[in-house]
Chains A and B, each alone.
Chain A
Amino acid sequence: MLSETERRELEEAVKHYPDKRGAAIDALLTIQRRRGWISDDLLLDIAQFLEITAEDLDSVATFYNLIFRKPVGRHVAFMCDSISCWIKGCERVQEQIKNLYDVELGQTTSDGRLTLLPIACLGQCERAPAIMIDQDVHGDITPDTIEQIVEKYK
């Protein structure tokens, strides 16, 4: 069930578009910010709010990689694997994360703390390799510094 606050936020989002459907992505992201991910129940509620079918909304939700249809950890780390970061050794940093936290790309640590996902170029190539954890970007990361960075996210 969507809360009153969530409904109000959705009403706000809809104001930016000529029809409710236009706000589909905003709506999914808005609810995800509060709930972490979009469960089937939430999907049904949002679809009802937008006056479209749940199937239709799910086809949108599953298209975009920043919308999660499965649970994620308390923090989400997006590891850039595009070219400038690859040249500067992102694979070694990822290897180090795996050693430290026993987590591969697409997985969540067993304590539910961190989900590790690959991401396309973060637009931080001048300080490659880069990682984004939640909303914070960290550049010039190395296998030696990555632990110190990840430790800030409990």
Chain B
Amino acid sequence: MERPLTQHIHPDGTTRTLREYVKDGGYRCLQKLAAGLAPKDVQRLVTEAGLRGRGGGGFPTGTKWSFVPMGPDAPKPKYIVANGDEMEPGTFKDRVLMEGDSHGLIEGMILAGYALDAEVGYIFLRGEYHLSAQRLNQAIAEAYAEGYLGKTIPGTGFRFDLHLHSSAGRYICGEETALINALEGKRAVPRAKPPFPQTVGLWGQPTVVQNVETFYNLPHIVNHGAAWYHSLSHTQDGGTKIYGVSGRVIHPGWWELPLGTTAREILEEHAGGMANGVRFRGVLPGGISTAFLVEKHLDLPLDFSSLPPQVGRLGTGTMIVLDDHTCPVGFVLNLERFFARESCGWCTPCREGLPWVARILTSFEEGHASKDDLALLDMHTKWLAPGHTFCGLAPGAMAPLQSALQYFREDFEQHISRGRCPWSKKPAQLKVLV
């Protein structure tokens, strides 16, 4: 099984140097550009490869690029931005890549810049990723010294400059228009769309924001072609995916696997199954803005086009497992407290609605919730549905809540009928496992 993105990452966690990266074929695709691969050829390859954005939305990258104005009359400069905010709870895949193989991001960004004739790039990195920052800074310095950055790439007339921006917290920075405001030195509140960043983005210029993992795929697509890229996956979406698992499984971790691998394979074969003494109840497949999958969904291929929308979305591909020693209501309360805290406060339904949801869930945990509260939770999943708020944060917050109300409804009802959390008095919960 091929693992183009991660095969060279050192298992001991040490830095991979520029020399190693180049020895293993790194920056080789720049020669292809010099040999005549035109920007539109790179665009076409990416479209044919069926690359879908890895930031959670799964938007086709080639389609996104097609909205960028091209040609001699296009505005200058254009910007390429790597979204390395990675604050979605349960998600750690971009960190693995940035720490393990920093040059892959740089090479991917140069390629995107070339394809879109955009000469400046920013890596937007969450402030807590100090090791990533250190390694990326080192890699950027090496790439400048070698002339991959800051100098015309021989035979192309194209030159790319790259900057690292370390952020200062707040989950909303990961939303691409909020990210653009943050990069401009402003409060990270989302912007209205349209206009989309591809035409009016950073400092009013055309801007393409992609997830870090998305960029890592580009050099491999250019080097090996679209057919090879499709052969990596089990489904119609091309390539591999970095999947991860956390929660009470035997081996929490991450694995690069064919896109379309099932949750069952990931949980049982790679994560080693559930930890001793606990049973599986459900899983959020990719960060906390996704809906729960339960036993009956475990054999569905996990990619961006096979999961039926009424079931859920893959999201970031890093899963969080709910086990039977953990209260589902307490679990969802933790999620909604996160969302309430991280709401940017720009639009009323989210700013007011999320703390309300968290308060109601607290009343369940404290044992004084009523049937009306259950109905209120149901209502909120409609009030904060897509289209009712300014950005995707609040609808994302409703995905786990709505699915929990569907699959774990008896647990909510038991909190009401017993007047307490059925899990809270069990010393067993504290002792069984860590």
Contacts and interface: CB of A to CB of B under 8 A. Distances in A.
B331 A63 contact: no
A81 to B, nearest CB: 8
Interface string B128-170: 1111000000000000000000000000000000010111111
A125 to B, nearest CB: 4
Interface in A59-102: 59-60, 63-67, 78, 81-84, 86-89, 92
B128 A17 contact: no
Interface residues of A, number: 44
B335 interface: yes
Contacts of B326: 87
Nearest to A89: B434
A23 B88 CA distance: 25
Contact of B185 (A22, A86, A124, A135): A22
Interface in A98-132: 119-128, 132
B334 A67 contact: no
Given A83-B89, A83-B288, A128-B246, A119 B128 contact: yes
Contacts of B183: 22
A23 B185 contact: yes
Tell which of B184, B288, B322 has the most Cβ of chain A within 10 Å. Answer: B184
Contacts of A29: 127, 166, 168
20 contacts: A25-B168, A29-B127, A29-B168, A60-B187, A81-B338, A82-B288, A83-B320, A83-B338, A86-B331, A86-B334, A87-B322, A120-B338, A120-B341, A122-B128, A123-B87, A123-B92, A125-B89, A125-B90, A126-B246, A137-B131
Contacts of A92: 430
B91 interface: yes
A123 B252 contact: no
Contacts of A86: 331, 334
Contact of A65 (B91, B165, B170, B246): B170
A120 B252 contact: no
